[in-house]
Every structure is written in C-alpha cells, then in structure tokens.
Chain A
C-alpha cells in the first residue's frame, strides 16, 4: 500500500510535465488531462485513506523510501515519504479541493488561450504541495515549499500582460524569499543540532536539546510560516496576489498553500513544545494577524481583496491555535480544513460573480445580484454563514474550539487571547456581512463600462456551479462531522497530541459569548450597509478606514523601513565601496606604481652600478649566512 504514496505526487507531476512540454497540440485536451490527473491523485488519496482507517490508530502512518538523494558520509538526504493522519488530512484537502477547482477552471478559463499552461501550472502546484505535506524530512519539505512558491509565482503572474499582475507575482516571490530564508536557516540549525533533518529523529531528539537551540529553530520556522501563510510582518503579498485568476486565489491563496505555515508549525510541534518563547511569538503573530486581516477585510471594496483579508485573519486563528501547543494543534488543523471548504467556496463564488459581471471586482458596483445568480448566492451564502460561525455550520465548530482553547491557555495570556479571538469573530461577522450585503442585496449599482458595455449578470456554467455546490456541502457539514464525538481530535491525536487545558469559563459561556459578538457584528453591518443605499463611490471614511483601505499602511511601512532603509544601506555601502575599498585598492595600486617608479630609477643602465649592487647583494648574502650561524 505504501507504494501508492509516490503515485500521489507522480500523477500531477506527470500532468505538469505533459502539459508544459507538450506544446500547442495539447491545447484542446490539456484541461481534461490536468483535471483527470488531479482527480486520479484524489482517488489514490481516498484509497490510502480507507486503507488507513482499517488500521489501528497507532500504526496508521506509512513510509515509503524512494531513493537516497544525497548519500554522503555524515549527510543523508532521502527522497522518502511519510503518510500519517496529519499528512492524510492535507492530502485529501489538497487533492479534493484541487480537483474541484480544476473542474471549476475548465469553465472559468474557457476563453483564455493559455488554458493548457494554466492547468500545467495547477498540476505543478498540486505535485509540489503534496511533496510538502508527505515529505518525511525537512529538506524534502523544503523542495515542496519552494515548488509551491514557484507555482504561486507563476499563477499570480499568469496574466503577465498586466503590469499589476507581474508586479504582484514579483512581490509575492520576494516576500516569500524572506520566509524561505528562515526555513533554510532552520534546516541548517537542525542539521548542526541533530545531525539529521528527518522528522522522526529530529522530533524525538527535542527532549534532550537545550531550549535556546529549540527557540532559535522555532523562530526560524515561524519566520518561514509567516512568509508562506501571509502573517504579520510578511503579510503584504497576499492582497496583491489576488491579481491571479480566481481559481488560483481559491486553491492556492485560500485553501491550501497559504496554510502550509500552519502545517509546518503543527508538524514541528515537538520543537515548539520545548520552546515556550517561540510559542509565545507564534501566538502573538497569530493574534496580531487575526485582527490585522479582519480590519483590512472591513475596508476593502474589491471583493477578492476583502476575502484575502479574511483569509489572512482566519489563518491568524490557525497560527494562534498552533501556538497554543497541544491544546490547539488539532483545532488549528480542523479550522484549516473547514476554512479550506468555505473559503474556497467563497472565492469560487466571487469568481462566479466576476464571471457574470465582466470581471468587475468592485463590490460597490454590484448589488442585488441574488436574483440573477441564485446558485452562486446560495452557495456563497452558505459559505458566509460558515465563516461567521453560524451555529451548526462548519465555522461555528472549528472557530469556537479555537476560542475555547485560547481561553484554556490559562492566566492573563488566556484572557487576552480569548478576547482577541472573540473580537476577531465580531469583526469577521461584520466584514462578511458587508460583503454579502454589498454583493447580493440592495439596489443594482452596476453601470456601463467605458466602452458602453453594460454587464448582464448571469449564472455561471455547470462546470463552475457544481464545484461550488460540493464545497458548500463541506462548508455546512464538515465542522459538525468532525466535532461530533470528537472525531477529529481522536483522528489527529496520535500525531499531534492533545491537551484539554484548563478553561476558566465553561464551553457554554464561550459559545454564548461568541453568539453575542456574532449578532453584534452582523447587526452593525446591517445598520451600515443594509438599511440604507450604498454609495457607488466610496465615502472618504474615517482615519482607520482609510488606513485599512491601504492595508493598514503595510506597503508604506515596508517602503519607508525596508525600501528606503535598503536604499540608504546600499547607498552607504556604495559610498564605502567607492571611498574606502576603492580608496584602499587605488591607493595600493598608486603606491605600488610610485614604488615601481622609484625602484626603476635604480636601473640606470650603468654596468658599474649594477656591479655595485651585485657586490652589495653578495656581501649581504654572506653576512646574513654567517649571522644565521652565529645566532
């Protein structure tokens, strides 16, 4: 059975190779090849899953050693896979949502002449993401990590004729490099500390390692997670990444790739468990991003950017949960999975709306679309209810668990974290209601575009609606399915461990509080956007709104601190290079030249002076020889 694991990766990898190398003759069949191979990977995953369910909880993990990548004395790098419950969860999420989004893309990208290439990149992404989650060592994980970064770069910039897309791709790539640096440093630290980077030995050895080293590794891993999962301070790329086609935003920048940071932290749980300082850094990052993303999401009029802010915020929840340690690991992953369903569904819904609205993204120019796109409205609406945590839907369970776990952390820390997560839930309810109201309710606000084409909103084709419906099912039922009888906890416990913590307040109280903030959030949004007509041109807004529209000045901050700072640094380096380094070099050269000119004068052409110099040389030679003996 373990021999199937490599096939998980092989199927999409083959697809990528065929589609990217196959050339134009595959243009007509390319999207089918890509979709079938993605589905094949899902089927293999499902087979492996049923097989895994048939075994006891403790021996569910499978290993497959493919080959020795770098077999050097003292440095063993293997291409080997490990499929345990945690990896399995991701495999099903990635291949499942991935396949749905492949299907969706068939319709969405129908009129794009580079559709084959798009599917090639999607398959490449799937292969890399699968390597990331089933690698059995950090080095191979790094291969997948870089692979998804590459695929993300290629897909954000897929419409490379748009300068904004090209810039966004470059920005994502550059910001991710910072995080990747963290991962590579973490791997190097692991190698020097443990002498290996395979998960098993590294995570087992954490008990005997000093906290300082674990903290260093943990902080570097957190840096990596921040880059890939768009967490503060490396969050700035995610909003711009919405320049990519919407299926990409759904798959890569909502459901799967951006959650790789959560996977990394949960997978490295043993390291963080031994490094409380690193854990604290993780929860701080999670809490800050949770609010940051939510605030940004409130102010955006671009539907995809509002959703991107939401993604950032929801991943903040997951990171925060992962930082709580064994209390939170399971819930981080659970929220990750439910979020994968409802956020992918929301993005696909947004794409469906854009598809019907001539690619308009400004929500102020939507309005009243529920009549024109009933299926989209329904599925989007279910996703909306799930994300705000409407009782009984997926988000309700998973988010509630995280809020409870935050309180269960105990002490002041627990109260602060719990309050932050509650506040986040309120803001989430607000901005998602805003999105919902602006898009589907109220008066129609769309106008003819510059060329006089008035949009004719219509429902999307079946290839697009069916994936949305499937995801809506997930949004509705996944949370309940996971939570009833603590199914998900029991499933992941053997890998991540679980701890109930000491909740200072009862679960019922937390749930009640959540419900209260939920209602407040929805009510405020309704007062602001539902009760009265929405202006087509955004009002000036308060200082906070204006800052949030500019992503809370993240780019300004980066510009001032990093770009300007970098420019100053390079300028001063250039100055040092010109004056000091060149000065030394040129000075040396000049002094050599001067010395040369002076020594040259000794060569005056007279044999007599040459003879004198020889005589002097001989005298010195003899004297020195005798002197050496005397000494």
Chain B
C-alpha cells in the first residue's frame, strides 16, 4: 500500500472499506505550497542527517547551525507568506486531503513556534559558556551521547573534541512535528505529529554534557510517561472512531452535534454511543494535558526540566506548550464544541488544581530549573482558564499568552545557562544569592523575566494574564478567574523571593560567576526582554493580530 493510500485510510477509512476492489486509484491532492513551512523543516532535518553522515566532523557544527537557522527562517518566511495571502483569515482551508488545517490559529502558532525555535537553537549553538576542554570549544551537549557516563569511551570522545551535532536535526524534526500538531485536522495526523515531535525531545533530554546520569534518567522517565500518555491518546482515538466512524475533526464534530444521522453499517454497534464519545474525548484530552503539563499529568515536568540540558529545557518548555495548547484548542473548538458543557466542569477542575498545585509546590523549590518547571505548570493552568472561555476572545487570548510566555521562558532558561560554577550551571537557588551585586545586568534581566512570569503590569506577562482572565470572566468562568488571581498571588511570592535573593542577600564567597555568552545567547535573551517590554507596554497590535487569527477553519 502506498503512502498516499495509507493517508486516505486515516481520513476516509469508512469509504475505503466500502469501496469495491478494483476501483481506479485516485491520487490525493497535496497542496505543497500551503504545507511549505512543514516541508521545509522536514527537508532540512533530513539534510541534517545526511550532513551527520557525510560532512567531516570538524565542519558539522557550522554546517548544522547554518542549515537549521536557514531552514527555520525559510519556514517562518513561508508562514508569513501564507498569512499575507490571506490563509489566516478569508482563505483559510484544509490541505492534504483534510489532514492539515491552514488557518489563523495554525499560522499564528506555527509562526510563534518557529520564532521560539530560532532563539532556542541559538542557545543550542552556544559554545562560549564552558571553558574549552582539550582545546575545543564545547556546548551543552555530551561529547558522545552513546558512551557510558564515566567510561573510558566517554573520556576518549571528550579528548577527541566530539560533540553531539545531531541535536540540530533532532530539534528540526521536533519542530516539524510541532508545526503539524496544532494544525492537525484529523486524529491520526494529531497522533503522528505528537510522536514526531516527542521522540526527538526524549533523545534531546538525554544528551547533557554534565550530570549525564540525571539527564538520561530524565529522558527515560519522559519517554516512559510519554509512551504511557500516548497509549491513552491512541485508545481515545480508537474510541472516537468507533463513535463517529471517522477520525476527521469535522466529521466527528458533525456526529457530535447531530448533523449526521446516517449510521455506518460496519459500526452499527458503536456509532453514536455517547459513552464511547465521552470516554474517548476524556482520554484524548488526557494525552494533550500531559503534554501541556497540567495537574495531575504534570509529574514528569520538574524531573525532566531539571535533568535535560538547559537549552533543551527552554525549547521544550516554550515550544511544546505552544504546540500542545494549539492542538488542545483545535480539538475543543472544532471536534468537541458540542461537548462544551460536558467537559467544562472537568476542565474547570483541571485548571484549578493546575494553577494552585503549580503555584503552591513551587514555593518550596530550591532549584531554579525545578522552580521554573512548577511555574510552567501554574502557567498551564492560567492558559487553561482561557481555553475554557469557549469564545473567540478565549482563543485569541490563549494565542497571545502562548506567544508571550514562550519568549519569556526561553529567555529565562537562557539566563540560567549563564550562571555557572565549577560544576557547570549553578542551579541551586542558594547560589543565586547576591547575584544582583555581582552581575547587576544579568540579575536585572532575570528579574524582568520573573516579573513577567508574575504578571506585574508593564510586562508582557500582565497583558497575557489580563487577556486570558478577561476572556474567562466574560465566558462565565469568574470562579476560575478568582482562583487564577489567588494563584498568581501565591506565585508572585516565589518569583519575588528570587528577586529578593538576587538583590538583597549578601553574595556568597564561593558563589557562581556569570559567563559572558556569545552574541547567540545574547540575542535570545535580548529578544526575550524586548518581547516582554514591548508586549507589556504596547500589547494592542499583537492582541489585534491574535484576535484576527482566532478563527478555526472547519
């Protein structure tokens, strides 16, 4: 069976089974131009594998960085081109035989993912933070990921100056999956996209240069739990297929709201069975909530964020969240709008425990990366409040929040990479004491990010939180807003505590130093600060952009 035939199986399973054998095969139409962003990134990723195979080791780093940056830039240009052609608004349509939507939310999220990936890749490529080992500049990644930590093989690889340049194609594959994820318009595409972006992430988590055992432990945990949640997702997809006789979003949506009455004879026993619908929907939701890190599916987050190489953590925390929330939005607004009232209480519960849980547990964290992990859980809760709003304002506020949050997150993790002592990054909070005295600029930048996380006015965090809470309140979820504000108050405590620690504590004698990064990381941090301030002071243009992009195609 050819690939295209498999594809049509996903989307039109019912028709294919009912078609008489011997029918002429009709080639599916693929709108390459509309899929250009994804295709460019996948092409570059494949090229990156070839580079690993054929380009001499010494030239790989430069080649890979160049290839990755160009690919992401080209993909972003393609997204902008599509948006300029009106695909985000009046020309929105569904490409690739119903598999991929090209509409406002998809393009907005793809653009965000690409920009965030770009600045993340800059931190991947940073090679000036660690002292040179054996005359070679090193980055955050293991010399040879396959070697056993502490073994002779590892020492030899370090001495030879190897680095894991495979991280760049891996990141590109992951980005490709993320681009498809919020645009996926049928459940199987959704699942494939999920796996395409998750599997490279598992690998990326495992390749830290320092604390390799911790990194590998994190990767294994992430992989196991990710596989576990994928199983739920897949089971949910199967149940929904049984309920609707199709995996297409629009098709399921039609069955849910009752506009399709005809029963597929092959599914006579199950079709239209609401139990299947509800259980399936809950399971798919669970798969997506795992990805966004909502309580109680969040437990991987702190361990993985802490263990993964910090640039990867930043990338993962920012881009994954954008992609996963995009998919969640599309699922809720396109497939399950008929279930809004059934799912609402459940989503309320999840949002509340996520906001409160993330904020409360963060209070007692002592590691800056774990702290940011719990902060990301609390933020997932805030975004969920906007998702629940079930209104166009809800969509656009979530889009805006995601854009705001992702840049701040990448910037914050980039700052974390700078604060180092002899053992690498000094992530224990006690080591950050007095940082503001020793490195006022770094501490000030980090303080800006923390204030944005806390949602203090004049930072982008405030604009985002305000938009989300306003949409939620207008959507009748005032209770959620109350909880959100309380959680914000709790969260403000630990953000401000870090600021107090940095600026009002005596520096320790053996405290960490702040490494001077290359222009790459500086760009990442500068973009983070710029987005924080611009979207904090004058958010209107971007709010308008998000609200123009806030309509899903069906």
Contacts and interface: CB of A to CB of B under 8 A. Distances in A.
Contact of B346 (A592, A596, A603, A628): A628
A613 interface: yes
B281 to A, nearest CB: 7
Nearest to A606: B221
Contacts of B225: 607, 610-611, 614
B360 A599 contact: yes
B224 A593 contact: no
Contact of B345 (A602, A603, A607, A624): A624
Contacts of A613: 296, 299
Interface in A587-631: 589, 592-593, 595-597, 599-600, 602-603, 605, 607, 609-611, 613-614, 616-618, 620-622, 624-626, 628-629
B363 interface: yes
B282 interface: yes
Contact of B286 (A603, A605, A609, A618): A618
Interface string B246-283: 00000000000000000000000000001100110111
A624 B363 contact: no
B274 A629 contact: yes
A592 B296 contact: no
B481 interface: no
Interface string B221-237: 10011001100100000
A159 B64 CA distance: 80
Nearest to B286: A618
A1 to B, nearest CB: 53
B360 A618 contact: no
Nearest to A617: B296
Nearest to B364: A596
**Chain B CB within 10 Å, residue with most, of A589, A622, A628:** A622
A124 B493 CA distance: 51
B224 to A, nearest CB: 5
A628 B342 CA distance: 6
Given A624-B345, A625-B342, A629-B342, A618 B303 contact: no
B285 interface: yes
Given A614-B229, A625-B346, A593 B364 contact: yes
Nearest to A604: B299
Contacts of A597: 364
Interface in A83-115: none
Contact of A626 (B232, B278, B297, B302): B278
B490 interface: yes
A299 B224 CA distance: 96
B342 A605 contact: no
A605 B299 CA distance: 9
Nearest to A588: B490
Given A611-B228, A614-B225, A626 B286 contact: no
B279 A616 contact: no
Contacts, number: 89
A611 B224 contact: yes
Interface in A288-325: none
Interface in B289-323: 290, 295-297, 299-300, 302-303
B364 A603 contact: no
A610 B300 CA distance: 7
Contact of A617 (B221, B286, B361): B286
Contacts of A626: 275, 278-279
Which of A589, A602, A614, A616 neighbours the largest number of chain B CB atoms within 10 Å of its CB? Answer: A614
A599 B377 CA distance: 14
B220 A618 contact: no
Contacts of A629: 274, 278, 342
A596 B286 contact: no
A603 B493 CA distance: 21
A256 B318 CA distance: 72
A629 B340 CA distance: 11
Contact of B360 (A596, A609, A622): A596
B343 interface: yes
A398 to B, nearest CB: 62
A313 to B, nearest CB: 57
Interface in B317-359: 341-343, 345-346, 349-350, 357
A616 B364 CA distance: 25
Contacts of B232: 618
Contact of A614 (B228, B343, B365): B228
Contacts of B278: 622, 625-626, 629
Contacts of B283: 618, 622
B234 to A, nearest CB: 13
Nearest to B227: A611
A106 B302 CA distance: 81
B168 to A, nearest CB: 29
Contacts of A610: 221, 225, 299-300
B547 to A, nearest CB: 29
Contacts of B274: 629
Given A617-B296, A624-B345, 19 more contacts: A593-B364, A597-B364, A600-B365, A602-B299, A603-B299, A605-B303, A607-B224, A609-B299, A610-B300, A611-B224, A611-B228, A614-B286, A614-B297, A618-B232, A621-B282, A622-B282, A625-B343, A626-B279, A629-B274
Interface of A: 589, 592-593, 595-597, 599-600, 602-603, 605, 607, 609-611, 613-614, 616-618, 620-622, 624-626, 628-629
7 contacts: A593-B364, A596-B362, A597-B364, A603-B299, A603-B361, A617-B295, A624-B346
Interface of B: 220-221, 224-225, 228-229, 232, 274-275, 278-279, 281-283, 285-286, 290, 295-297, 299-300, 302-303, 341-343, 345-346, 349-350, 357, 360-365, 490, 493
Which 4 A-B residue pairings sit nearest by Cβ, starting from the closest?
A617-B296, A610-B299, A596-B363, A596-B364
